[in-house]
Amino acid sequence: MNVVGANITKIRLDKGLKQKELLAKLQSEGMEITGSCLSKIEGQTKMVTDKDLLIIAKALGVKPEDLL
């Protein structure tokens, strides 16, 4: 279980991004991730590494601590 998944979803929705749009941003930042993996992260069933947290924060345009 992860604690950031719900925050990722909330921020993504607040910014009007679809999951596919966030996925494309993450992939363009060099993160190797699939749609299924992103769904699991947002569903809080897949852990997020520190490196991934930094990439997700950058893609969403927020500070890493905003995801915590």
CA 68 to CA 62: how far, in whole Å? 11
pLDDT of residue 39: 97
Sign of CA dihedral 41, 29, 51, 54: negative
What average pLDDT does the chain have? 96
Q: Can you give the pLDDT at residue 61?
A: 97
- Provide mean pLDDT across the span 18-36: 97
**Confidence check: pLDDT of 1 > 90:** no
Range 1-27 average pLDDT: 95
Whole-number Å distance between alpha carbons of 25 and 45: 21
Give the burial class of 51: count Cβ atoms within 10 A of its Cβ; 0-12 exposed, 13-18 middle, 19 or more buried.
exposed
Q: Which 3 state secondary structure label does DSSP give 27? A: helix
